[in-house]
Amino acid sequence: MSSQPKHVPASSTQTEATPLRFVTAASLFDGHDAAINIMRRIIQSQGAEVIHLGHNRSVEDVVRAALQEDADAIALSSYQGGHVEYFKYMVDMLKERGAGHVRVFGGGGGTITPEEIRELQAYGVERIYHPNDGMKLGLVEMIEDVMSRTRAAVDRRAQNAPPAPVTANIDDEISVGAMLSAIEEDALPEAELARLRKEWALAGGKTPVLGLTGTGGAGKSSVVDELLLRFLHAFPNIRIAVLAVDPTRRRSGGALLGDRIRMNSLRSPRVYMRSMATRRQHAATSIVLHDCIDFLKSQAYDLVIVETAGIGQSDSEIVDLVDFPVYVMTSEYGAASQLEKIDMLDFAELVVLNKFDKRGAEDALRDVRKQWKRNRTAFQMADENVPVYPTIASQFNDPGVTWMFANLCRLMRDKLHLPVENWSPDVDTTLREPRATVLIPGNRVRYLAEIAEQGRGVNGGIAKQAEAASKAQHYYESLKDIGDEGVPRALDLYDHASLNVEGDRSLSTLRQRYNEAVRELTSEAISLLREWPARFEAVTAEFNEYQVRDKVIRVENYRTSLSHQKIAKVSPPKTKDWGELLSFLMRENLPGHYPYTGGVFPYRRAGEDPTRMFAGEGTPERTNRRFHYLSLGGAAARLSTAFDSVTLYGEDPAPRPDIYGKIGNSGVSIATLDDMKKLYSGFDLSAPSTSVSMTINGPAPIILAMFMNTAIDQNVEKYLNEEPARWEAANAHIAALYPDGDRPRYHGGLPEGNNGLGLGLLGVSGEEVVDAETYARIKTYTLATVRGTVQADILKEDQAQNTCIFSTEFALRMMGDIQQYFVDHKVRNFYSVSISGYHIAEAGANPISQLAFTLSNGFTIVEYYLARGMKIDDFAPNLSFFFSNGMDPEYTVIGRVARRIWARAMRERYGASARSQMLKYHIQTSGRSLHAQEIQFNDIRTTLQALYALFDNCNSLHTNAYDEAITTPTEESVRRAVAIQLIINRELGLNFNENPWQGSYVVDELTDLVEEAVYKEFEAISERGGVLGAMDTMYQRGKIQEESMYYEHKKHDGSLPLIGVNTFLPKDHGGEISTEIELIRSTEEEKGQQIDNVLLYGRARNSLAPESLKRLQSTARDRRNVFEQLMDAVKNNSLGQISHALYDVGGEYRRNM
């Protein structure tokens, strides 16, 4: 039942002493949360209570949270396009639901233009902040503006809206929220409150109240979320209210109400959640919590759950407020004697021992059960009957949580006399213990510290070897100088009989010392020194020949300048000193030689620049035209693909405004196999001159399966075209699938260079139009020849970029499935993962953190794949890397250091072959250094960053367009970006040389400094249990955010000079230059086209294989190779259909603060 009418002033109760309440988030399909995290911290420091929802939040998510939380304002960042539709949809939804008073603030860097800002503010958005506002005001002053505007709106509302009767109703979330605020603010007259308390007691007497408390960091929110998911699934009609309490900051009076971010179950309309601050010190509950609970019980909820803030040992306040108290703890409580001091072990009806995958958890379970029995003098009770349940709530579908849930229902039913029929869930409890997914065996978790230790050891060994080589040479030269007739060949030893020369003690001593010095040298050092003269001759002669597999490569060693000077392609050291030479050979070496510091190949590839042709906008057809525009006349097609945010988050195009606005913006829209065929049509994906890079992570396995099928179907198409009869039969089959003639097609004319390859089998899989044997043969050939890279790096997504969509464990498992499929099917020329630092840098990391986190992620993948039983040389060559290049000095050497560390670890730790030792990486110039102010200057920064990359012998390079700070690049800006590389590669004289950094003192010093800094970071990560352990404590994410904040403060206070941004500003125009640029947005027609295409595909294909999604789910449940099944599933299902099918068996990603 609902409460009786009451008088509540319209958000009534806000006074100057009342904290403002903000909901903060990043928009739908947007993982850029660095800025909003900075903003919500400052908002909180200003005394506000902040309900932070994190990234990728729909308008429904944000508005519903604002209603339930009775928020005064919403602060939202939107960097991924579609902002006009998103903000307008939010304003409309707030008004429709009676919350038009909630102020909406936003920002999106330069992606939201001044014209769009004016349009949105006229529509009802309170304020959108542009980068110029941040530069004028500063970060703190900008947030002060947000606070003052919100406070003014609250005050106006309180003055202008007289108290009005409001009836709280379970189906009216805004009225429930208003009543909770009135209780929290002590706004109800005492007499009215006394009357309401009586009504609440009568109306809600039978609703059980479940309370969860525990220490901070025990995982209470995750446990609550997992319980909610199980309650909702087991009891289809249950309505649940959740009250979550977080502490108020003593200094500022603000509070971070962070429980909501962790809960995926809140999408259900059957769950109401309200976050509350304690608003008092040293307490885990709010003083008004009792009244809030009673009120919610009166609203006909079937269950009320209360989660407290983190508590200490002696805190048991929750016991007096709830019917069934639960204590959530971990094994990290100290010595067993500490258990005697924990009050809640006396009072809890049930104990959850969470994070059972941590070290010492088994011992903790034994000790906690003993303590529970001691507290109740139940010494004879069997352990399995003690209500202490181990769980891993962070793990999807954990059997420990399910067993605990079943027992929680049983114990609550028995204690509170609840109806058996309503509290007996039908759940599978065959498995009762948590199943920790061990990705890296316990005996190898120190892998990073060991790599650092080994790396330092190698450096120390090289120094000793160089010293020994110098000594040996000094003795050898001295022996020659004094005319020793028996002197051996350099680095050969004197035989034993020659060491003592009768009558010449000095000669004997010199010979002995020489032998001793040579004996200190390893066989590798001696070989390097002996082979050097021949290698020196090879790179200084007119021509050089070397062999790659079965092919002999002949290379000219010089290019001639306009001044008729011969410029060496590879310039070797000229030193004659054995020690200096050996130090160079063991620390650097020439390009193409271990440890590959100077580059992994002896020479750059002739006739193929490392330029990546980057595109991604609108429909597949539009991006296909851009690819052909960029590659026209080129010897090779190196296509790099950006996907729109709808695709990046594994969803299909749809008409809902917050999705609709993002279709085809900031990337290409791909939802089906047909879309993929159109995207790469006209490019022979099996040709050695074609390679494709796909920047996608969360749904990468699905998109990769579409790509592989596209390549296979191209070759099926070639086979069909060899004989007209084959093609006619296939065409008849396709026509029969589309009897209405509504056959999928490429919209618009084909661009120059597109011969239509790949379009012949739109609407059908090649498997359907050839016999099984032919298809298998074509598939085998294609998989062995296709070239390219898919990013698919889920570790960095969790740490930085936030396009995770599946639970981390399941996503990693699918990464391993892809690589296992590559091993099984001999996929040698396609990289299964691009281990990415670029997005770590874009999130705010400095170059050392970017490099250290990226390499540590790479070594984690290596350890995981080894633990799965793969051999190092079967998968290491399929790994590639992706770095950002900024303006910092450390970027000069990022590739050199990465290659050296990787090669040494591969050889010394893993015993890998030379091919596996070669770290190959792609560089993209920094997106963070693209500024919306004076955008013409961006090309200058990009040019300098491209110089860093090319001089360091990156394997491929993408130069950003100058206007990307504001819009998707235009053809003009992309042409300029490509021209930067072409000018460096073909005009800049120093780039005739291919090892220009080698021999530079400052580059050598930077290399050593950065290498040591990376080793220190490895050790810091290792101390936290390796990469996965550090991710659990959000170490990487926290460090990235700190470094981002440091950069932003230095940018805003001017101590980091940025030309045209905070210094060297134009004297006219008020210090700003307004530049008219063409905004690239997908059109209404293009968005509608993509929505229609998905519907057409579904109508034609879904019925052909109705069981394909069930087979996919079964494969995932049985822990068989998911990618193998995805190769079939994508033939009949869209991206969104497959993503949602996998959520049910692999779990959705749970956000972190």
Of the candidates 1063, 1038, 1064, the residue with the CA atom closest to the CA atom of residue 1053? 1063
- Do the annotations mark residue 777 as ligand-binding? no
The pLDDT assigned to 32 comes to 84
pLDDT digits (tens, 9 = 90+) for 58-69: 999 999 999 999
- Do the annotations mark residue 357 as ligand-binding? yes
The pLDDT assigned to 42 comes to 94
The pLDDT assigned to 1069 comes to 56
795, 860 in Cβ contact below 8 A?
yes
304, 297 in Cβ contact below 8 A?
yes
The pLDDT assigned to 310 comes to 78
Task: Give residue 1's pLDDT band: very low, low, confident or very high (50, 70, 90).
Answer: very low
pLDDT digits (tens, 9 = 90+) for 691-729: 999 999 999 999 999 999 999 999 999 999 999 999 999
How far is residue 703's CA from residue 1053's CA, in Å, rounded to a whole number? 43
- Do the annotations mark residue 97 as ligand-binding? no
- Do the annotations mark residue 880 as ligand-binding? yes
DSSP codes, 488-543: -STTPPPPGGGS--TT-HHHHHHHHHHHHHHHTS-HHHHHHHHHHHHHHHHHHSSE
Element at 437 (helix H, strand E):
none
Which domains, from first to last, does the chain contain?
7-188 (3.40.50.280), 447-587 (no CATH)
Give me the numbers of helices (H) and strands (E) for the chain, helices first please. 40, 28
- Do the annotations mark residue 356 as ligand-binding? yes
- Do the annotations mark residue 29 as ligand-binding? no
- Do the annotations mark residue 745 as ligand-binding? no
Q: What is the mean pLDDT of the chain?
A: 92
pLDDT (mean) for 571-596: 98
The pLDDT assigned to 731 comes to 92
pLDDT digits (tens, 9 = 90+) for 48-58: 999 999 999 99
> Phi and psi of 25, rounded to 5°?
-170, 165
pLDDT digits (tens, 9 = 90+) for 1003-1053: 999 999 999 999 999 999 999 999 999 998 899 999 998 999 899 889 988
pLDDT (mean) for 437-449: 92
pLDDT digits (tens, 9 = 90+) for 455-493: 999 999 999 999 999 999 999 999 999 999 899 999 999
**Amino acid in position 208:** P
**Residue 991 CB contacts under 8 Å (≥ 6 apart), including other chains:** 950, 951, 984, 985
Q: 3-state DSSP call for residue 875?
A: helix
The pLDDT assigned to 10 comes to 38
Per-residue CA distances from 418 to 70, 209, 424, 982 (Å) = 32, 12, 10, 76
Residue 164 has pLDDT above 60, yes or no: no
540, 574 in Cβ contact below 8 A?
no
SS (H, E, C) 249-278: CCCCCCEEECCHHHCHHHHCCCEEEEEEEC
pLDDT digits (tens, 9 = 90+) for 739-749: 887 889 999 99
Residue 1074 has pLDDT above 70, yes or no: no
The pLDDT assigned to 1078 comes to 66
DSSP codes, 774-798: HHHHHHHHHHHH--EEE---HHHII
Per-residue CA distances from 397 to 95, 392, 402, 1147 (Å) = 38, 9, 7, 8
Task: Give residue 863's pLDDT band: very low, low, confident or very high (50, 70, 90).
Answer: very high
- Do the annotations mark residue 341 as ligand-binding? no
The pLDDT assigned to 273 comes to 97
- Do the annotations mark residue 1088 as ligand-binding? no
DSSP category for residue 473: H
pLDDT digits (tens, 9 = 90+) for 1126-1151: 999 999 999 999 999 999 999 899 98
pLDDT (mean) for 656-670: 96
Task: Give residue 501's pLDDT band: very low, low, confident or very high (50, 70, 90).
Answer: confident
Window from 94-103, 307-316, 970-979, 1030-1039 with minimum mean pLDDT: 307-316
How far is residue 526's CA from residue 537's CA, in Å, rounded to a whole number? 18
- Do the annotations mark residue 1074 as ligand-binding? no
pLDDT (mean) for 936-953: 97
- Do the annotations mark residue 220 as ligand-binding? yes
- Do the annotations mark residue 705 as ligand-binding? no
The pLDDT assigned to 187 comes to 87
**Number of other residues whose CB lies within 10 A of the CB of residue 178:** 24
- Do the annotations mark residue 693 as ligand-binding? no
- Do the annotations mark residue 831 as ligand-binding? yes
Residue 646 has pLDDT above 50, yes or no: yes
Task: Give residue 165's pLDDT band: very low, low, confident or very high (50, 70, 90).
Answer: very low
Structure tokens at 999: 């021999």
**pLDDT above 90 as % of the chain:** 78
Parallel/antiparallel/unpaired status of strands 566-568 and 613-615: unpaired
- Do the annotations mark residue 262 as ligand-binding? yes
- Do the annotations mark residue 355 as ligand-binding? yes
- Do the annotations mark residue 920 as ligand-binding? yes
This prediction's pTM: 0.91
**Number of other residues whose CB lies within 10 A of the CB of residue 144:** 15
**Amino acid in position 879:** L
How far is residue 329's CA from residue 317's CA, in Å, rounded to a whole number? 16
Residue 375 has pLDDT above 80, yes or no: yes
The pLDDT assigned to 810 comes to 94
pLDDT digits (tens, 9 = 90+) for 517-571: 999 999 999 999 999 999 999 999 999 998 877 788 899 999 999 999 999 999 9
- Do the annotations mark residue 32 as ligand-binding? yes
DSSP category for residue 646: H
The pLDDT assigned to 8 comes to 38
The pLDDT assigned to 617 comes to 92
**pLDDT above 70 as % of the chain:** 96
Task: Give residue 18's pLDDT band: very low, low, confident or very high (50, 70, 90).
Answer: confident
- Do the annotations mark residue 989 as ligand-binding? no
The pLDDT assigned to 280 comes to 72
Per-residue CA distances from 618 to 56, 162, 778, 1042, 1080 (Å) = 21, 50, 32, 35, 9
Task: Give residue 1071's pLDDT band: very low, low, confident or very high (50, 70, 90).
Answer: low
Helix, strand, coil: what percent of the chain each, to 5?
Answer: 50, 10, 35
Task: Give residue 625's pLDDT band: very low, low, confident or very high (50, 70, 90).
Answer: very high
Task: Give residue 166's pLDDT band: very low, low, confident or very high (50, 70, 90).
Answer: low
